[in-house]
Structure 1
Amino acid sequence: MMFRISKIVACLLVLSATLAFGRAAQAGYAHFIYDVKTNQVLASENANELNHPASLTKMMTLYMTFEALKERRIAWDQDILITPNAASKIPSKLGVPAGRTITVREAVEAMIVRSANDAAAAMGDFLGGTEEQFGQMMTRRARQLGMSRTVFRNASGLPDDAQVTTARDMAVLALALIRDFPREYQLFSMRNMEFRGKRLRGHNNLMYRYPGMDGVKTGYIKASGFNIASAVTIDGRRVIGVVMGGKTARARDDRMAALLDQYVPSNRLSVDGALVAAQEQKQTAEQPAPLAFATAPRKQITMNPGSAAGQPARASIANLYAAPSQGVPPKNLPPQNPQVAAVAPVAPQAQDSLWRVQIAAGITKASAVNMIDKAISLLSGFNSVSPLIEAATYNGKQAYNARLAGFADRETATRACTVLQAKSMNCFVVR
């Protein structure tokens, strides 16, 4: 009898905690801006207040997927079943009928580019047995990463009163993705994907117009408002930003851009009125700009965007939970929206491939040539690489983007970019 009473009391405690999370979570505004290099919280407002993550949830689903791939529990080309649960999800979705299959790669790309709810649910069912059990796995992993106020109940971010997080916790997750899976993280820069004869366009419009941004995810449900987690590298500095509770997608994007412009120091060089968007990092292999995270990695980092190979993370959870820096913020800079005006390759492309490695944007032509020459000299094992300089317009002024072409596929371009990052050169893969 006493055992039954104790069990009932325990269940009531769990239920009351769940209901408390549900009542506390609301579509309130919050933001969190974190400088990885200096381990400083640059800006924070309501960063510990509970809200619903919406499709930012898929960042954790992807983290769990990348972890399973790394541990070889699954493979990129492995088929996963579209369960009735997955097929029943509302759009955005791939629309594959129950009983059919998609590959792990298709599921990953669909979650990143299309924010496909059915792909996320299918992956949750596949890795967890059921999506409910996968939600429990996600929550346990979140705690291990330092996400102290996050509860996951499903793999997609579709409405659930008990599924909650904070802006700060989402920053922890973004940092963990970059730290633990630097190669896979580059997939977040994809703008489009091909799925069985159809070209699907991505949702992260800010990433396509804000120089130096290479991820990470947007999300929306009515209960949360419009959310975004962003990662940007400017002059070799990695900055993570989270905005939650935006009234519209455009307002959310503009708020994120304004925060980054305000709190990221203005180290970008003026070139005929244009601003350098991404430039060769100034750090050397002996003095890298290390990534900082809420918890230490289980193994030593092998490569990180914005740092040399083999450099471990330096910050602890205390850094991420520190108060915002009190320094005087730099003068606001307007968000950039480059428009490519023309393409002027300085040498023939070795192969007709859509995949490129971008090194810099908004610089002089001479600087672009110099940076490309250095990049090619660092890629001795990539014989087909060819230079590509694009003329572009920044705020009505002409400048140039430096890219490398000639890659047979995305994997080859990703390997090349990883080599450059390990040698302290900023880059990201574009299509």
Structure 2
Amino acid sequence: MRSYNRHNLGVAIFLLFCIQLLLVSTAQANPRYAAIVIDVESGDVLHAENADATRYPASLTKMMTLYMLFEALENGSMHMNQPLPVSSHAASMPASKLWLSAGSTIAVEDAIKALVVRSANDVAVVVAEALGNTESNFGRMMTQRANELGMTSTVFRNASGLPDNAQVTTARDMATLSIRVMQDFPQYYHYFSTQSFTYRGTTHTSHNRLVRNYPGADGLKTGFIRASGFNVATSAIRDNRRIVSVVMGGFTAASRDTHMSDLLDRGFARLSMLQRGDWIARADVLGDRMELPESPPPSAQQLAAAPETSSGQMAAGLERQLSFQSEMDIEMGSADDPIRALIAQADSPRASSGSGGSWAVQVGAFNDADQARHLATRAADQLASLLHDVRVSVAQSDGERRVFRARLVDLQESDAHSACNSLRAQGMDCMVVAHN
């Protein structure tokens, strides 16, 4: 009997360990995540998280391929009806593709639509070879032009975004590219809102559901490889103000789109507050739950002189074998969504006394103490259902500059994170800080 009980105890301990391990793995940081939100008119960064961390661009690469093609159209070296030859190398690219045959041709305008709507890898190579003779040479041209645009952390090795360990970028660089595409080629930007096009009797529909579903969204690009996770660059307009946002590393297309919609909503709310004269503290979205890189890709500086590897050598496994159906399955995402679980966990309201802790929520910093107290009091009122009897603090910071910090204080750390998430959902940015 004693041996039996000892065995049961051992099994119970093992099961408890497994459950704890599962919970930790579900809530662990996402090492691929990065995001940035920019007000195009002012250039102000409304939100940034891991914005300068090295990431893989995946099919966001095709925005650079299109930028180069737009330049060729403007300088007269290409024209919209020009037929582009399809090489055997281009035809051999894996899906997503247009299934072009070697020896055939495709018109420039059809190529543009295929890159935007179908994210066609074979068409990307067709464009690369037309502009750079070889795809590897076109990659060098892309990198040089990207650096000239200010994308100093980006290296391109192919035109499609297919896996290559040396092809890297950052969320900030992808936002820069998105803005330059719009500003430098407004006459072609409308292509990025295209939701379908028909080529040789087959109609292709865009994977970019944000353009269809988010009010005011009018374009740009999605991307996915296993190494990058689900990426998207989105531009949207509300009240005559344009925001560009980039999200990289989503677990699924669905969660990526949900997160992008949330970032855009909060970005427009912050713009509205700024226009009313409110000061908004910059802070994380979802705190530090998603953003602790484990093994990031090598930096652009480390890779600039690295020996080239062909996309054909690097694109092994799943990415080389994707059929159209499997692409659509992946793009639709999964109902068991880790990002959605993290968002729900972070945003779940819990009533608390709000007392006895050593943490605070800072909602702003002002030159005027009365203004600081006004915003802190307003934040406390918005949290009345979440935190009871929360204490407002306005303290002058140390240093030469006279600044008053507006804070809600004496919180437990978990309550501080919940409070900050609730404020952000209402358009007021904040950050969680230790408070003595």
Could you state the TM-score of these two structures normalised by the residue count of structure 1? 0.57
For residues 29-55 of structure 1, what are the alpha-carbon distances to aligned partners after superposition, in whole Å with 9 as ceiling and x for unaligned?
000000112321000000000011000
Query: Which residue of 223, 227, 235 corresponds with 1:223?
Result: 227
Partners of 1:39 and 1:109 lie apart in 2 by: 29
Q: Does 1:176 align with 2:172?
A: no
Report what 2:86 is aligned to. 82
RMSD over aligned CA atoms reads 2.1
Query: Which residue of 425, 428, 432 corresponds with 1:332?
Result: 425
**Which of structures 1 and 2 has the bigger CA Rg?**
2
Q: Does 1:233 align with 2:326?
A: no
What amino acid is aligned across from residue 206 of structure 1 in structure 2? L
Report what 1:29 is aligned to. 33
Partners of 1:179 and 1:267 lie apart in 2 by: 21
For residues 26-79 of structure 1, what are the alpha-carbon distances to aligned partners after superposition, in whole Å with 9 as ceiling and x for unaligned?
961000000112321000000000011000000000000000000010110000
Report what 1:108 is aligned to. 112
Identity of aligned residues (%): 49
Report what 1:185 is aligned to. 189
Q: Secondary structure at the match of 1:264?
A: helix
Partners of 1:39 and 1:90 lie apart in 2 by: 38
Q: CA deviation at 1:194?
A: 1.0
Q: Does 1:154 align with 2:158?
A: yes
Q: Secondary structure at the match of 2:204?
A: strand
Question: Residues 147 and 266 of structure 1: is their aligned pair in 2 closer, same or farther, counting only changes over 3 Å?
Answer: closer
For residues 250-272 of structure 1, what are the alpha-carbon distances to aligned partners after superposition, in whole Å with 9 as ceiling and x for unaligned?
0111000011111212789xxxx
Q: Does 1:139 align with 2:148?
A: no
For residues 166-205 of structure 1, what are the alpha-carbon distances to aligned partners after superposition, in whole Å with 9 as ceiling and x for unaligned?
0000000000000000010011111000101111100101
Report what 1:98 is aligned to. 102
What amino acid is aligned across from residue 232 of structure 2 in structure 1? I
Report what 1:164 is aligned to. 168
Question: Residues 155 and 27 of structure 1: is their aligned pair in 2 closer, same or farther, counting only changes over 3 Å?
Answer: farther
Partners of 2:147 and 2:191 lie apart in 1 by: 25
Partners of 1:326 and 1:147 lie apart in 2 by: 31
Q: CA deviation at 1:326?
A: 6.4
Residue-pair matches, total = 253
8 Å CA contact 2:60–2:231 kept in 1: the answer is: yes
Partners of 1:43 and 1:255 lie apart in 2 by: 13
For residues 338-381 of structure 1, what are the alpha-carbon distances to aligned partners after superposition, in whole Å with 9 as ceiling and x for unaligned?
xxxxxxxxxxxxxxxxxxxxxxxxxxxxxxxxxxxxxxxxxxxx
Q: Counterparts in 2 of 1:362-373, with a 5 A limit?
A: none
Contiguous gaps of at least 5 residues in structure 1: 1-25, 269-324, 335-431
What amino acid is aligned across from residue 78 of structure 2 in structure 1? I
8 Å CA contact 1:261–1:333 kept in 2: the answer is: no
Q: Does 1:62 align with 2:155?
A: no
Partners of 1:197 and 1:267 lie apart in 2 by: 45
Report what 2:249 is aligned to. 245
Contiguous gaps of at least 5 residues in structure 2: 1-29, 273-362, 366-374, 376-419, 428-436
Query: Which residue of 204, 208, 214 corresponds with 1:210?
Result: 214
Report what 1:359 is aligned to. none
Q: Counterparts in 2 of 1:268-307, with a 5 A limit?
A: none
For residues 94-127 of structure 1, what are the alpha-carbon distances to aligned partners after superposition, in whole Å with 9 as ceiling and x for unaligned?
0011111111111110000110000011100110
Q: Counterparts in 2 of 1:315-326, with a 5 A limit?
A: none
Partners of 1:235 and 1:188 lie apart in 2 by: 21
Report what 1:405 is aligned to. none
Q: Secondary structure at the match of 2:188?
A: helix
Q: Secondary structure at the match of 1:182?
A: coil
8 Å CA contact 1:27–1:225 kept in 2: the answer is: no
Q: Which runs of 4+ in 1 moved over 6 A?
A: 325-330
8 Å CA contact 1:58–1:155 kept in 2: the answer is: yes
Partners of 1:221 and 1:89 lie apart in 2 by: 14
8 Å CA contact 2:243–2:267 kept in 1: the answer is: no
What amino acid is aligned across from residue 263 of structure 1 in structure 2? G
Partners of 1:168 and 1:266 lie apart in 2 by: 19
